[in-house]
Amino acid sequence: MKYTLAVTRQCNFGCAYCYISGISGHDAVMSHETAERVVEFIFSRTPEHENIDIGFFGGEPLLEFELIKSIMRRIYRHERYDPERFLFSVVTNGSIFSDAIAADLREFRISPGISCDGPACIQNRSRVFRDGSPTSAAVEGNIRHALEFFPFMPVNAVYSPDTLDMLPDVVEYFHALGVRNIYLNPDISARWTARHAEMLDGVFSRIGTLYLDYYKAGAPCHISLIDSKITVILRGGYEPLERCRMGKGEFAFAPSGNIYPCERLIGSDDGDRHCLGNVHSATGMLKRCSHDSEHTSNPFCLNCGISRYCMNWCGCTNYFATGDYNSPGAFICASEKASVTTAYALIEKLGEEGFSFADHLAGTPLQSIVGEVSGLQ
Ligand code: SF4
Ligand code: SF4
């Protein structure tokens, strides 16, 4: 089960593509009472023995770090808390970090991830402070600082139509900073065109070349769009529990207590579109979510040879492209094809290098060798 707590909708950034709107308002920050209800929802709704993945999200969640720590204490004190079953993470915009925050994150066993779009010329295009000033210098400094404490920390970059062709530069920038766990995600609300779809094979192939070069140079780097596809190809397809389970095995909570199938669908938290219920509701009943990860409504997928390797089931991505949780759009289709093609090529080339795919088969791609190199083990 995956639960995301948007502890605040406030943020010190004003990103061009932010999907949290209506940031000021009486429900901008989660109250302690709502947080308590969320924790109870999590414990009471999760079937016994299921693992629980809790993520803190925003707005900028570290603006409410005291609230996060209070939620963590509540979870740790709960009679049903079992450390073997819980994973915790926080995704921050990278503007707030200190030795004290690192110590608390370690103490509470919360894994941090930082969102950064790449070098200054890309980061400062879309990700600026609320007064419009650039964020790159602050975020770069905090990435370096955080890596001292969390060497395998993920960094998430969003790319847009005007930065797609610079994606290999983004990878090179992060690798030079010492980042060894890179996530690359398209801005799902952007206007992607056929021209962008045609660029994908070339861009992903250049990233594949970097991936191979880093491995050969003894500085391997996990790159999500490559490693996730190598894994799924070697394993023969996505397992049911690896697919998006929004609204069934995955819920996101707005500061108001409203429950959504995914954090990307909270938006203005209007309590209507996408909303499944509220943790303060007396009945505790949730609306049924129409997402179905097993059955896409796109007829092209039915006869597609790579459908078992494809994330055509990502409900929020589909919704932003087509208005239907179950129908993938043309850009994601092209992106999935390009990443599968890149992964196939790398499986062949890595095989020639005598690469062991044990980590991929275990579902933790590259973690042991990246750990060895960075001294994690
Ligand atoms: S850092 Fe996140 S929440 Fe803040 S403005 Fe940017 S996208 Fe929105
Ligand atoms: S690659 Fe395209 S056609 Fe094939 S399953 Fe994915 S979205 Fe459907």
> DSSP for 208-244?
HHHHHHHHHTT---EEHHHHHHHHHHHHTS--GGGS-
- Residue 58 CA, closest ligand 1 atom number: 3
Give the distance (Å) from ligand 2 centre to CA of residue 321.
14
pLDDT, mean of each 10-residue run, the chain (377 residues): 96 90 68 97 91 96 98 97 96 98 98 98 96 97 98 96 97 98 94 96 98 95 96 93 88 95 90 92 80 80 92 91 92 96 97 90 81 60
Does the beta carbon of 28 sit less than 6 angstroms from any atom of ligand 1? no
| CA–CA gap between residue 223 and residue 214 (Å, rounded) | 11
| 240 exposure class (CB count in 10 Å sphere: 0-12, 13-18, 19+) | exposed
Residue owning the nearest CA to atom 3 of ligand 1: 59
Instruction: Name the closest ligand to CA 300.
Output: 2
Report residue 20 as tokens: 């949290």
Instruction: Name the closest ligand to CA 189.
Output: 1
- Residue 300 CA, closest ligand 2 atom number: 3
Give the distance (Å) from ligand 1 centre to CA of residue 92.
9
Give the distance (Å) from ligand 2 centre to CA of residue 330.
9
Does the beta carbon of 20 sit less than 6 angstroms from any atom of ligand 1? yes
| 329 exposure class (CB count in 10 Å sphere: 0-12, 13-18, 19+) | buried
Does the beta carbon of 134 sit less than 6 angstroms from any atom of ligand 1? no
| CA–CA gap between residue 78 and residue 63 (Å, rounded) | 25
| CA–CA gap between residue 158 and residue 123 (Å, rounded) | 9
* Per-residue confidence (pLDDT) for residue 352, from 0 to 100: 93
* Per-residue confidence (pLDDT) for residue 5, from 0 to 100: 98
Instruction: Name the closest ligand to CA 314.
Output: 2
Amino acid identity at 274: H
Return the ∠ at Cα 233 (arms to 229 and 234), rounded to 5°.
120
* Per-residue confidence (pLDDT) for residue 173, from 0 to 100: 98
* Per-residue confidence (pLDDT) for residue 22, from 0 to 100: 56
Backbone angles phi, psi at 313, to 5 degrees: -95, 0
Angle between helix 32-45 and helix 65-77 axes, rounded to 10 deg = 40
CA dihedral 80, 82, 86, 89 (to 10 degrees): 90
Domain 2-245+333-374 is found in CATH 3.20.20.70? yes
What's the pTM value of the predicted model, to 2 decimals? 0.93
DSSP 3-state of 91: strand
| CA–CA gap between residue 272 and residue 72 (Å, rounded) | 29
Residue ranges lining ligand 2, Cβ < 6 Å: 298, 300-301, 304, 306-307, 310, 312, 328, 333, 336-337
Instruction: Name the closest ligand to CA 123.
Output: 1
* Per-residue confidence (pLDDT) for residue 377, from 0 to 100: 47
Q: Round to the nearest angstrom and report the end-to-end CA distance of the chain.
A: 28
Q: What is the DSSP string of 304-363?
A: -TTGGG--TT-HHHHHHHHS-TT---HHHHHHHHHHHHHHHHHHHHHHHTT---HHHHHT
